[in-house]
Each structure stands twice: as structure tokens, then as C-alpha cells.
């Protein structure tokens, strides 16, 4: 029987960055300082065996930094905010992720939809690089790039059958107005040097955009779709809820959280002091 490491039982701990507003379009609270994390993101992480702590984007910097020093990975959610304090904090956390990894810590980041867009803007150093797409309330396929190895990616655990269905069945949910075409992505030296494109998708007008990327060097993955919705949201009619769709989401959750396990053993009881 394998011994259980007591510290391993305490993690991994994933920090999810809160988003401005109350999650109800201001219907619950008009206080501009309010922020929220949709329950589906928490459930997505917990479904893979991790715990979650909120990284409140406008909390005192010293508290946010304390949390960042005690967690094993970060998730950027979807949303709408592309300017102001929120984007400044997202960029600061992204730099923290790179710094931790450069120092030898394995510290993963998973960015969803708006998170994908913000990373695209930050890494490209061009806040106007995004293009308009008709991707709102839209289920689509994922087209794997040709001649790309899935080893070391979130697709490596997919069965051959499920991998094949990604390109034929609409198993993922998109809900965005912006994105980036493969041509514009590859045309930016900063983006192509940092990320490799894993999949593309098409919007309602059959325009192709980048839908999944993974860093060449860092444990950083970003998707322009919503894996958290397949199992945990029912508000939009186009969200796929089939067994295959749920499996796709679960594989992504498992891949992200499994990357955080490398950091579990630096976790300490100081977490309780937050």
C-alpha cells in the first residue's frame, strides 16, 4: 500500500480570480467594488479533486500576494472586463506565474474565454490585436492542428474515439464576441514564440479562429471556449450536455489540476492564516 503524504491531502489549491460585478448584471448590487466567481468554475476545479480559494481582484495587494504564495495554480475566468484594475491584476498574476516557473516551481495557469483574450493582448503587447467574431451562444467542434503531437497536452488522455469526435461533433460551448485568427496569431512574433496553437474553431459565419493554445515552455493553457459549462451550467440552450461533451470538460479539468500536484508539497499549514 502506498503511503499517503499528509501535505498531499491538503491540495492542490487553485486560485480563481474574481470578475468585476455581482454576476447578475448589477441586479443584486450596484456597488462598483463588488466582484464574483461563477459557481461553475469552482465546480469545474473541484470535480478534478482540487480545492479553491478566491483571488479577489480588488482586495489589498498584500492579501492577494499572500494567497498567491500559498496556492498551486491559477484560473482566469470568462467575462467582459478588458481595462482598468482588473486587467492590471490579471497581468500581474500572469507575471507571477512566469516568475514562479522560472524559479523552478511548477505553477500552472488555465485561462478561459476572457482569460484567453487577455493573455493574447498581454503577450502580444497589442491591446487591439483581437478581432470580431460571431461566437456568442454557439456550440462548435475543435479542429486539431495538423502534424501536432498531443503528448504533453490536455488531449493526451482522450480516447481515440473521443479525439475523433472533437472534429465532427459540437462538443464545446463558445460565448464570445472577440477572438484571433490563426493568421493574425502567427503574425505576432510574441504570440507564436510563447504559444503553440492546438485547435481552431469556426464561428456562426464560418470564420476560423484560434480556440486552444498551450505554452511552449510554461504550464500555461488557454481556451476560447467554456469547458466549465458542459457539466455545470444550464442557462444557455446551446451548451452541450452529452456524455461526450462532459468527458471533454472533465479531461481538461483533470489535466489542469494534475499539473498543480507538482506544487502540492510546498503547501504549508500557513494557508489557515489567510
CA contacts within 13 A on the Cβ side of 61? 8
Greater model confidence, 9 or 2: 9
pLDDT tens digit string along 129-164?
A: 999 998 888 899 999 999 888 888 999 989 999 999
pTM, rounded to two decimals:
0.88
pLDDT tens digit string along 165-188?
A: 999 999 998 988 999 999 999 999
Tell me what the pLDDT averaged over the chain comes to: 87
Residue 23, pLDDT above cutoff 80: no
User: Which contacts (CB < 8 Å, 24+ apart) does range 126-133 have?
Assistant: 126/188, 127/82, 129/180, 129/184, 129/188, 130/178, 130/179, 130/180, 131/178, 131/179, 131/180, 131/181, 131/184, 131/209, 132/177, 132/178, 133/176, 133/177, 133/178, 133/179, 133/203, 133/205, 133/207, 133/209
Looking at the annotation, which residues are catalytic?
Answer: 113, 226
User: Which domains can be identified in the chain, with CATH numbers?
Assistant: 11-273 (3.40.50.880)
Amino acid at each position: 500500500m502506498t503511503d499517503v503524504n499528509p501535505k498531499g491531502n491538503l491540495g492542490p489549491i487553485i486560485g480563481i480570480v474574481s470578475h468585476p460585478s455581482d454576476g447578475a448584471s448589477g441586479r443584486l448590487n450596484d456597488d462598483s467594488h463588488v466582484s464574483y466567481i461563477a459557481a461553475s468554475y469552482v465546480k469545474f476545479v473541484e470535480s478534478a479533486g482540487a480545492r479553491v480559494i478566491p483571488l479577489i481582484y480588488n482586495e489589498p495587494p498584500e492579501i492577494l500576494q499572500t494567497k498567491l504564495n500559498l496556492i498551486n495554480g491559477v484560473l482566469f475566468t470568462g467575462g467582459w472586463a478588458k481595462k482598468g484594475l482588473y486587467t492590471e491584476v490579471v497581468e500581474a498574476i500572469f507575471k507571477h506565474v512566469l516568475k514562479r516557473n522560472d524559479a523552478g516551481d511548477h505553477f500552472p495557469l488555465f485561462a478561459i474565454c476572457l482569460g484567453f483574450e487577455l493573455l493574447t493582448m498581454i503577450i502580444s503587447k497589442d491591446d487591439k490585436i483581437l478581432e470580431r467574431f460571431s461566437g456568442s451562444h454557439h456550440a462548435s467542434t475543435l479542429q486539431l492542428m495538423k502534424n501536432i503531437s498531443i503528448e504533453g497536452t490536455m488531449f493526451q488522455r482522450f480516447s481515440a474515439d473521443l479525439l475523433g469526435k472533437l472534429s465532427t461533433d459540437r462538443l464545446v460551448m463558445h460565448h464570445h464576441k472577440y477572438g484571433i485568427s490563426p493568421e493574425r496569431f502567427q503574425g505576432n512574433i510574441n504570440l507564436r514564440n510563447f504559444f503553440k496553437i492546438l485547435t481552431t474553431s469556426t464561428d456562426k459565419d464560418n470564420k476560423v479562429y484560434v480556440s486552444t493554445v498551450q505554452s511552449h515552455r510554461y504550464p500555461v493553457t488557454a481556451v476560447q471556449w467554456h469547458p466549465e459549462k458542459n457539466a455545470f451550467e444550464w442557462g444557455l440552450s446551446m451548451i452541450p450536455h452529452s456524455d461526450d461533451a462532459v468527458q471533454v470538460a472533465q479531461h481538461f479539468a483533470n489535466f489542469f489540476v494534475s499539473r498543480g500536484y507538482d506544487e502540492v508539497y510546498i503547501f504549508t499549514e500557513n494557508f489557515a492564516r489567510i
